[in-house]
Amino acid sequence: RPITFGNNTKWLVTQSAGLTTGFTFFNGAAASYVAVPVNISLNRKLTNNLYAFAGVTAAPVYGSFSHAFIQGSAGKYGNSYMQTVNPGVYGRAELGLRYVNDDGSFSISGSIGVERTSSYGGYPVYPYAGSNRR
């Protein structure tokens, strides 16, 4: 439910939370993740159909590499980025515009943002070497 500031309905604060999961294939290898994003946004009504927004998001993330696809021993070299379990926190701040049609059944938005993660943003997974491994 949006939070408005007094009788002024042009400004409102919204919050959301969710659960997201995924599975990534890359170059013969695989990785999976689970994240719980939490967002808070400040929205300003510009016209009947156009809104400006600014928001921040934080999401704890748990990523895991598939042992069967990793070349060599994961984490073999101490503090390696190839660890089998890679928990972290993802954060994002953004500004944008949203268009909503008159009956509210369609919207489109665009935004620009900056993000930061305490773990690696992508999963640098290499293919399993198979019998060539020594």
**Burial state string for 62-98 with b = 16 or more CB within 10 A and e = fewer than 16:** ebbbbeebbbeebbeeeeeebbeebebebebebeeeb
Closest alpha carbon to 43 in 16, 3, 103, 101: 3
Q: What does the pLDDT read at residue 117?
A: 76
**How many Å apart are CA 24 and CA 2, to the nearest integer?**
35
By CB neighbour count within 10 A (0-12 exposed, 13-18 middle, 19+ buried), where does 125 fall? buried
pTM of the model: 0.63
By CB neighbour count within 10 A (0-12 exposed, 13-18 middle, 19+ buried), where does 51 fall? buried
Cα 66 from chain centre: 21
Cα 41 from chain centre: 16
Phi, psi of 128 (to 5 degrees): -70, 135
What pLDDT tens digit does each residue of the chain (134 aa) get? 556 555 667 888 889 999 999 887 777 677 788 999 999 999 999 998 999 999 999 999 888 766 544 444 444 444 444 556 678 888 999 999 999 999 989 999 999 999 887 765 444 444 444 444 44
Q: What does the pLDDT read at residue 58?
A: 94
Q: Are 102 and 49 in contact (CB under 8 A)?
A: yes
